[in-house]
Amino acid sequence: MTFKKCSFILLAGGKGARMESPFKQFRLLGGMPLWAWSFKLSSELYDMGLIGEVIVVFPKGFDFSNEVKIINELNIPFKVNVVEGGETRAISSLAGIGAASGDYVLVHDAARPFASSSLVQRIISSITPLTGVIPLTPVRDALKKVSNKGEIFPVSRENLWSTQTPQAFPREELIAVMKLADNNMSDEAEAWIKAGYPINFVEGEPSNIKVTYESDFKFCETIARGMSQWRVGHGFDVHPLRPWRKLILAGHLIPDAPLGLEGHSDGDVISHAVADALLGAAGEPDLGTLYPSSDERYKDASSIIFLEEISHFLSKKNWSLIWLDITLEAQLPRLSKFINCFKINLENALSSLTWAMNKRINLKVKSGEYIGAVGKAQCMKCHAIATMRSDIAWRK
């Protein structure tokens, strides 16, 4: 088959009723929403030439505008279609499959964050125009059945297998059997088998676990921590104040400021310190190396744009921002009323580095107390400390 004719359906439309809090797919796992782990898998599959498009199914009636924004900001080089699901898995699945255009579909549960690209490759390689393929793992534990009266009976585990996702099927045939299926079916394979179609299997992966209960989520958190590398970076910058310059901080023009920061660019001391903190945590060259003052292209340039570019650069290397603490030293003018604006500008500039930027930035302004160069309003200084997480080891 031609892999580009395969569509990836990501089912993230459930309510997670068996969890302590509903809508488990939006809970952060290792700094990313649970659904985003499988979305990143789809990006890897596209790069490998295994799929041609992605359809994400979110809950019916749920405001998922923030999730759409996240997808758009990732600048994914393939088609992504976001659709609304229904009250049951069957309805949500049919909505996703119906929005697909591929000859084949891979239907994956967003509650399985650790499916690997090698598993998907084996599944796709086994599919035929009339045969579905599912991943199965042998049941390893001894089984017992508990009656309504609390009586316990042993059950043989011989020839019993657990079903995983993604599951692959010819799209048009799957639509036909899904329309005839019970809305309470457990997965697509159940509808496929009941319709009498042939199905094959490949062996699944023990790591491809499903988050169903709270204990599952906690176990996945342990795995995610082991897949990440944490670092802390420090950034510092200082610029002199001059009467002929505009004062720009964190991309915001301070109106009626008597003095502005001198520099080759706009002298934005906050953006410069933050940039060096991020680059330092990632082990990259500093801001001056990437945007040298000897380059006339950067004369009077907006430093907040530098920050946006650095954010995208580090995001592509699988870095994400966990926490950013900033201290600005300034005597004049009084800047406390601008702090919220500074934080909003920084959040927007760094949005590609995190899946949930809210409340990840702390910014303080300290007076020089009329001591030294800062206290005499001769300059401003800024320190920034960034805590970053790297997912370089993610799904190798």
Most confident of 22-26, 65-69, 375-379: 375-379
Structure confidence at residue 390 as a pLDDT band (50, 70, 90): confident
pLDDT one-digit tens code per residue, 157-206: 999 999 999 999 999 999 999 999 888 889 999 999 999 999 999 999 99
- Determine how many CB atoms are found less than 10 A away from the CB of residue 341: 15
What pLDDT is stored for residue 75 in this prediction?
67
Coil, helix or strand at residue 368? coil
Q: What torsion, rounded to 10 degrees, do the Cα atoms 248, 252, 255, 259 define?
A: -10
d(CA 90, CA 113): 20
Helical ranges in 129-213 per DSSP H: 171-180, 188-194
In this prediction the pTM is 0.72
pLDDT digits (tens, 9 = 90+) for 263-287: 999 999 999 999 999 999 999 999 9
Strand locations in the chain (E)? 6-11, 28-29, 32-33, 53-58, 79-84, 104-109, 132-138, 143-146, 152-155, 161-163, 167-170, 199-203, 229-242, 248-249, 252-253, 260-261, 319-329, 361-366, 379-390
Ranges of H-type helices in 249-367: 269-282, 287-290, 303-316, 339-349
Nearest residue to 220 (alpha-carbon basis) of 58, 78, 25: 25
